[in-house]
Amino acid sequence: MSKNFETSAIRINHSQSNQKEHSSALYLTSSFTFDSAEDARATFADEMEGNIYSRYANPNSTDLIQKLCEAEGTEDGIATASGMAAMFGSIAALLESGDHIIASRSLFGSTHQLLTRVFPKWGITSTYGDISDFENWGKLVQKNTKMLFIETPSNPGLEIIDLEKAGQFAKEHNLIFVVDNCFATPYLQQPAKWGADIVTHSATKYIDGQGRVLGGLILGKKEFIKDVQFFARHTGPAISPFNAWILSKSMETLAIRMDRHCDTALKVAKYFENNSSVGRVKYPFLPSHPSYNIAIKQMKLGGGILTLTLDGGLERAKKFLDHLNMISLTANLGDSRSIITHPASTTHSKLSEEEREKVGIVDGLVRVSVGLEHPDDIISDISQALEKSK
Ligand SMILES: *Cc1c(COP(=O)(O)O)cnc(C)c1O
């Protein structure tokens, strides 16, 4: 198979049935048959290759996993019903009671809940590190620290962590290095190149790209994925074949969609950078981003998300959202439709004000997921809402 991203994302296909379909078939089946009792025994015993049951594997999920492994440069993986099942599974499968995690403080809201509310119930604890203080993360390492879990760019603060340095840090302290690569997608950034042992995804976002289905992935080195597969087979976070089929099809257009998302996002960011009623525009590929140099080193393009900090705080932000005509108010991101979210009152409302402040989620901050509409229409909708909310 070609090593070019666009080609393998289109041409890798797990199987073709004897109907010779050109577009991949959808395997809506819970289980698979065996030719003999002996084959059944041998398949269960891993002595023979073959599908058994869709909680274990299904041709459609295998298809999706193969495409993502090729894109990320990882050896193996599993596909899950949602991004959160992937975040949960990557930790639950690899750690045990008494273990400790170092995580970047800027994390997706539900991942934060996992680390602070769910895993402590089973004796897995964590400590947050601030990205601005990365040089000192060595101080956070305990005798029982087993994992480094980061998100870059982070949701919604767009903080960027130097993947090369994080990889070296994980290696030096013998930590399993996990990267949530949801915002960048493998088209823009491949954490495995920088030493990530595990790469997780919410496929719900850019991999679907059209706001239709939920899905997630855990990808990485075989030695770790073996344990993840065991965990998933017996706890059941499997993706539905239908969702895997949609997501595998979507991979065919990921590169071309990301090119446009990134191009338009940069245009929008540049346009509003000097607008008098926007306090601050943050976008990884604007030289004003505090980690611009790291972003351009490890990302192909700047991504489809930017944030605007509006003067006037919470009231202004709410008024601004209410005046949008075209752009959607919804919690998703990475859709062909542009979306604006107010993290402080929605996705990150479960964090305390102090926790939000530490990760830069001020009351006036809005997250813009730049869609595939014409850039002029996106700019004009934001402009008129800014004007009317003054
Ligand atoms: C959305 C998201 C998740 C969770 O994914 P779901 O598919 O919604 O479960 C995890 N991490 C990041 C960075 C996300 O944006």
Quick one: 180 and 144 in the same domain? Answer: yes
Query: pLDDT tens digit string along 353-388?
Result: 888 888 788 899 999 999 999 999 999 999 999 999
Quick one: 270 and 242 in the same domain? Answer: no
Quick one: 288 and 381 in the same domain? Answer: yes
Residue nearest to atom 4 of ligand 1 (CA): 83
Quick one: 286 and 231 in the same domain? Answer: no
The CA–CA distances, whole Å, from 96 to 80, 144, 301 equal: 21, 10, 37
Rounded CA-CA distance 179/292 in Å is 19
Counting from 1 in the atom list of ligand 1, the atom nearest the Cα of 154 is 13
Instruction: Write out the two tokens for 308.
Output: 């605007």
Instruction: Using CA atoms of 311, 317, 322, 326 in order, give the dihedral in degrees to the nearest 10.
Output: 80
Quick one: 190 and 329 in the same domain? Answer: no
**What confidence score (pLDDT) does residue 131 get?**
87
33 burial level (CB within 10 Å; 0-12, 13-18, 19+): exposed
Quick one: 213 and 155 in the same domain? Answer: yes
Pocket of ligand 1 (CB under 6 A): 82-84, 87, 108, 110-111, 151, 155, 180, 182-183, 202, 204-205, 214, 216
Rounded CA-CA distance 240/242 in Å is 5
Query: pLDDT tens digit string along 230-284?
Result: 999 999 999 999 999 999 999 999 999 999 999 999 999 999 998 887 889 999 9
Write phi, then psi, for 47 (nearest 5 degrees). -90, -15
Query: Residue 306's closest CA among 331, 285, 335?
Result: 285
Quick one: 317 and 168 in the same domain? Answer: no
Select from 231, 253, 275 the last residue of a domain. 253
**What confidence score (pLDDT) does residue 352 get?**
83
Q: Is a pLDDT exceeding 70 seen at residue 216?
A: yes
Counting from 1 in the atom list of ligand 1, the atom nearest the Cα of 214 is 7
Query: Residue 151's closest CA among 198, 204, 206, 81?
Result: 198
> CB of 152 within 8 A of CB of 134?
no
Work out how many domains the chain is built from and give that number: 2
pLDDT band at residue 348 using 50, 70 and 90 as cut-offs: confident
**What confidence score (pLDDT) does residue 353 get?**
82
Counting from 1 in the atom list of ligand 1, the atom nearest the Cα of 85 is 9
Rounded CA-CA distance 230/27 in Å is 23
Span from the CA of 368 to the centroid of ligand 1 (angstroms): 16
**Type of residue found at 39:** D
Between 175-179, 188-192, 350-354, the lowest mean confidence (pLDDT) is in 350-354
The stretch 106-118 carries a mean pLDDT of 94
The CATH number assigned to the domain holding 170 equals 3.40.640.10
> CB of 173 within 8 A of CB of 52?
no
Quick one: 247 and 299 in the same domain? Answer: no
Quick one: 175 and 29 in the same domain? Answer: yes
Span from the CA of 202 to the centroid of ligand 1 (angstroms): 5
By most ligand atoms within 8 Å of CB, the mutation choice from 200, 204, 208, 347 for ligand 1 is: 204
The CA–CA distances, whole Å, from 84 to 64, 78, 96, 171, 281 equal: 18, 13, 19, 26, 29
Quick one: 141 and 271 in the same domain? Answer: no
Residue 291 is part of which domain span? 255-388
Quick one: 202 and 308 in the same domain? Answer: no
Percentage of the chain beyond pLDDT 90 is 87
Residue nearest to atom 7 of ligand 1 (CA): 83
Residue nearest to atom 2 of ligand 1 (CA): 202
